[in-house]
Amino acid sequence: MGLFPSRKAEVEATPLDDVDAVLADLDGVVYAGAHALPYAIESLNRAGETRRLGYITNNASRRDSTVAEHLRELGLVRTRPDDVVTSPQAAMRLLRERVAPGATILVIGGDGLVFEVEKAGFAVTRSADDAPAAVVQGFTPEIGWAQLAEASYALATPEEDGGIPWIATNTDWTIPQARGIAPGNGTLVSAVHTAVGRLAVVAGKPERPIFDEAVARFGARNPLFIGDRLDTDIAGAQSAGIASVLVLTGIDRPKHVLAAPTTSRPTFIVGDLRELHEPYPATTVRGDVTTVGEASVRIDGPDIHIVSEGERPIDLVRAGAAAIWATGRAIYGFRVPERLYADPFHRP
């Protein structure tokens, strides 16, 4: 089954066995920019025939209703706004704990963030001169220097010295787009941090609030989360106690999988979402040889040897990851053959 199987151990089990709710990230999993990724829509629709489908996104630029409409246009026709859990919704949980009801909030972000702030009963301002009770920052492509400067002015005093709270919807460094990989909200949060020397409280992945909201909303007992990033998606699911799938259609590549720290290792690794419905081969270890499917890897001191590449590149990645992770040693302690982290998988 998975690299660290926690459910049925049968060789013929798929990643979806025993799962009652599939929770999927969006950018890099379902779509890149405005367009669906290959095989994503049909694979998720099939999974949703017998399970609840939900979507968790760190992207704070759009309302849940707008995201749901986009997903329906792509072919996920049964998607409703309450199927979408956004980082601004998680941010409102944190905001309610820190400021008085109806307080004025400086919003650095787009319509999706403004909508959630107002829905939560707070007043929105765009100026630090309005004495805001907190700053909430999220991504939108229109953010520029002037907006980041307003956040810096409002956050000049450290919170421990009487300054106001600063909540970031997420700190993703990058975001997949149709033309390639672009800077994400983390770069914008970092710009403000550099100016004021403070750290934001983060609401979205990899923090727990957004996962806890999804599990509670969908009543999931055995959820499975699908993501494309180890540092946010997989680390977040792991910290929330949720089984995870890393799909190689977005940010992280095979070389990142091999080097994944213990805090961000997926239960399953797939090349695309069709493999959710395919038998997931067991990982077997005989002596110093680790085998997944027809792919085998042997570790000899600092050297990693490919015993058999097999017919499926994904099985070689799985075998290499299982072998390296089992040693408890960091990737830089090995000599890794280039074929082990070859990357024939689709990405935007």
User: Mind telling me the catalytic residues?
Assistant: 25, 27
Q: Cis peptide before 183, with omega less than 30 degrees from 0?
A: no
pLDDT of amino acid 61: 86
| 226 and 194 share one domain | no
pLDDT surpassing 50 at residue 54:
yes
> By C-alpha distance, which of 108, 172, 162, 98 is closest to 135?
108
| 164 and 228 share one domain | no
The answer to the question of residue 67 being in a domain is no
Cα 215 to its chain centre, rounded Å, is: 15
| 212 and 190 share one domain | no
**CA 228/CA 192 separation, integer angstroms:** 27
| 152 and 164 share one domain | yes
> By C-alpha distance, which of 145, 138, 208, 147 is closest to 166?
138
Task: Domain of residue 315: give its range.
Answer: 283-341
The answer to the question of residue 225 being in a domain is yes
Q: Which two tokens stand for residue 342?
A: 């070859």
Structure-token match 């307003």, residue found = 150
| 153 and 197 share one domain | yes
The answer to the question of residue 256 being in a domain is yes
Backbone CA torsion sign across 46, 5, 221, 116 = negative
Lowest-confidence pick of 9-23, 72-86, 123-137, 209-223:
9-23
Beta bridge partners of 176: 181
Residue 156 per-residue DSSP state: -
Total domains in the chain come to 3
pLDDT surpassing 60 at residue 5:
no
| 95 and 196 share one domain | yes
* Domain end among 202, 227, 250: 202
Lowest-confidence pick of 8-12, 88-92, 145-149, 171-175:
8-12
**CA 224/CA 245 separation, integer angstroms:** 7
pLDDT surpassing 80 at residue 81:
yes
What would the mean pLDDT of 55-67 be, rounded to a whole number? 91
* Domain end among 169, 184, 202: 202
**CA 137/CA 203 separation, integer angstroms:** 10
Mean pLDDT of the chain: 93
pLDDT of amino acid 10: 44
286-326 confidence digits (pLDDT tens): 999 999 999 999 999 999 999 999 999 999 999 999 999 99
CB 11 within 8 A of CB 2: no
| 179 and 243 share one domain | no
| 99 and 155 share one domain | yes
Q: Residue 274 burial (CB < 10 Å; 0-12/13-18/19+)?
A: middle
Q: Which two tokens stand for residue 37?
A: 């990724």
pLDDT of amino acid 1: 39
The answer to the question of residue 63 being in a domain is no
The answer to the question of residue 75 being in a domain is no
**Please, what is the angle between helix 185-196 and helix 145-154, to 10°?**
50
| 210 and 181 share one domain | no
| 175 and 260 share one domain | no
The answer to the question of residue 25 being in a domain is yes
The answer to the question of residue 300 being in a domain is yes
| Per-state percent for the chain, helix, strand, coil, to nearest 5 | 35, 20, 40
| 198 and 213 share one domain | no
pLDDT surpassing 90 at residue 12:
no
* Domain end among 155, 172, 202: 202
**CA 216/CA 213 separation, integer angstroms:** 5
| 48 and 142 share one domain | no
140-189 confidence digits (pLDDT tens): 999 999 999 999 999 999 999 999 999 999 998 888 777 888 999 999 99
CATH code, domain with 261:
3.40.50.1000
What would the mean pLDDT of 23-34 be, rounded to a whole number? 92
